[in-house]
């Protein structure tokens, strides 16, 4: 199976806004047969549609992967499995053993979304979100890469002033399998006065910090050479160790400029002056919050993909948006984050850079031609649903030549 970390020798995800796609007349999308040749590369992909809008966006992304693969001589063998609320309803657990086994045996995993109101009152071990934590732990995907780029076509969709949002292109590198989400002891109890309490533990070992720091430094090195480590070292012992280890690892990367910022200040600076950031590295809970905040700089959480990588074995790729049960089944979902997650799957998970860039440029082309789902719609553009947006991206995937100007 593909080694996720080996794929980090490619350029980190980010659109090149100077690339344009030649104009051409719309034509039917044709899936070529090149993938059927004896020389075609073949990959096993586990699909986890999940809940809410998950099945809708996964269906679109699957079609895009198939077309891009057929053009680039790549064959995909898809294995769809249950997870989250859908798995709870069918099997009684949020992550069936069959699903985890299939994921481990694949070359990459593409996830739609999990969760919904229906399961909100379940006990913790029977919540869809528990299945996601179990999947991450089972795949040992410790490095979560979340890009946030403001596309020129969508700068007006940002809630920030244009002069603040324009040109933002940052990457959040989040530690994914440690910290307070996994730390022990945790649970419920009573204190010495008989009061009911809930407690969690923020804990990191040096090796966990070292490995995510190296991924962040490597990512920053391939971008603009600037890395900001976010912590709360003025209060938390776990953050004190975090900063100590990040500084130690920095000695291995003298070409990368390292800075440090407390998480409360980072949250403020992300909306005050986001262009000061290039690559951010932080722990699990801070990364969870900051990456969601960064997503809104771009105009919509429906635009942002993510990659979760291990030292070896399959990576997990998913949009950062939720399952949006309020619009599920209504053809209103934005599939672009899932399509771009598929592009990250190709680039970071499989090392198939040409196919990945074909998809990234296809998304840009569809936006250039004015197609918008409701979450990114503005006057003067064409409002489309999930399926039609997918169809327009498919048309753009078939573009033969990309011209840089």
Q: List, in sequence order, every residue forming a beta bridge with 318; answer none if it has no partner.
A: 306
Q: Is 262 exposed, middle or buried (0-12, 13-18, 19+ CB in 10 A)?
A: middle
From the candidates 288, 365, 375, 398, which is the catalytic residue? Answer: 288
- Residue 400 CA to residue 31 CA, distance in Å, equals 14
Q: Catalytic annotation on 375?
A: no
Are 166 and 150 spatial neighbours (Cβ–Cβ below 8 Å)?
Answer: yes
From the candidates 222, 226, 262, 292, which is the catalytic residue? Answer: 292
Closest by CA to 141, choosing from 338, 336, 2, 296, is 2
Residue 172's CB: how many other CB atoms inside 10 A?
29
From the candidates 232, 332, 347, 395, which is the catalytic residue? Answer: 232
From the candidates 127, 169, 181, 395, which is the catalytic residue? Answer: 181
Q: Catalytic annotation on 181?
A: yes
Residue 171's CB: how many other CB atoms inside 10 A?
25
Q: Catalytic annotation on 232?
A: yes
Q: Catalytic annotation on 379?
A: no
Kindly write down the DSSP assignment for every residue of 238-281, as one continuous string: HHHHHHHHHHHHHTT-TTSEEEEEEHHHHHHHHHH-GGG-SEEE
Give the chain's radius of gyration (CA, Å): 21
Q: How far is CA 166 from CA 157, 302, 303, in A?
A: 11, 18, 16
Please give the torsion angle defined by the CA atoms of residues 281, 285, 288 and 289, in that order, rounded to the nearest 10 degrees: -100
Residues with catalytic annotation?
181, 232, 264, 288, 292
């Amino acid at each position: 199976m593909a080694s996720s970390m080996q794929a980090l020798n490619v350029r980190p995800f980010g659109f090149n806004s100077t690339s344009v796609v030649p104009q051409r007349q719309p034509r039917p999308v044709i899936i070529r047969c090149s993938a059927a040749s004896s020389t075609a590369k073949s990959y096993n992909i586990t699909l986890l549609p999940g809940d809410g809008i998950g099945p809708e966006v996964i269906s679109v992304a699957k079609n895009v992967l198939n077309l891009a693969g057929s053009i680039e001589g790549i064959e995909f063998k898809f294995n769809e499995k249950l997870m989250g609320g859908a798995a709870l309803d069918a099997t009684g657990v949020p992550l069936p053993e069959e699903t985890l086994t299939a994921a481990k045996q694949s070359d990459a995993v593409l996830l739609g979304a999990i969760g919904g109101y229906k399961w909100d009152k379940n006990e913790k071990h029977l919540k869809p979100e528990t299945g996601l934590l179990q999947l991450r732990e089972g795949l040992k995907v410790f490095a979560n890469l979340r890009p946030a780029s403001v596309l020129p076509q969508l700068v007006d969709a940002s809630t920030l002033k244009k002069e603040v949002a324009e040109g933002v292109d940052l990457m959040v590198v989040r530690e994914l399998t440690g910290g307070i989400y996994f730390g022990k002891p945790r649970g419920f109890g009573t204190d010495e006065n008989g009061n009911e309490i809930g407690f969690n533990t923020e804990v990191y070992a040096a090796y966990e910090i070292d490995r995510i720091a190296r991924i962040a430094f490597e990512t920053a090195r391939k971008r603009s050479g600037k890395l900001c480590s976010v912590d709360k070292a003025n209060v938390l012992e776990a953050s004190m160790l975090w900063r100590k280890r990040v500084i130690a690892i920095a000695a291995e990367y003298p070409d990368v400029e390292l800075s440090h910022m407390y998480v409360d200040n980072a949250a403020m600076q992300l909306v005050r002056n986001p262009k000061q950031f290039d690559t951010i590295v932080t722990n699990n809970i801070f990364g969870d919050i900051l990456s969601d905040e960064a997503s809104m700089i771009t105009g919509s959480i429906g635009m942002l993909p993510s990659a979760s990588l291990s030292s070896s074995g399959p990576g997990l790729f998913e949009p950062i948006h939720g399952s949006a049960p309020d619009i599920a089944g209504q053809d209103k979902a934005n599939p672009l984050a899932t399509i771009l997650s598929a592009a990250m799957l190709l680039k970071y998970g499989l090392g198939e850079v040409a196919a990945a860039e074909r998809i990234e440029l296809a998304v840009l082309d569809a936006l250039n031609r004015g197609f918008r789902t409701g979450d990114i719609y503005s006057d003067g553009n064409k409002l489309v649903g999930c399926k039609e947006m997918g169809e327009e991206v498919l048309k753009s995937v078939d573009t033969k030549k990309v011209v840089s100007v």
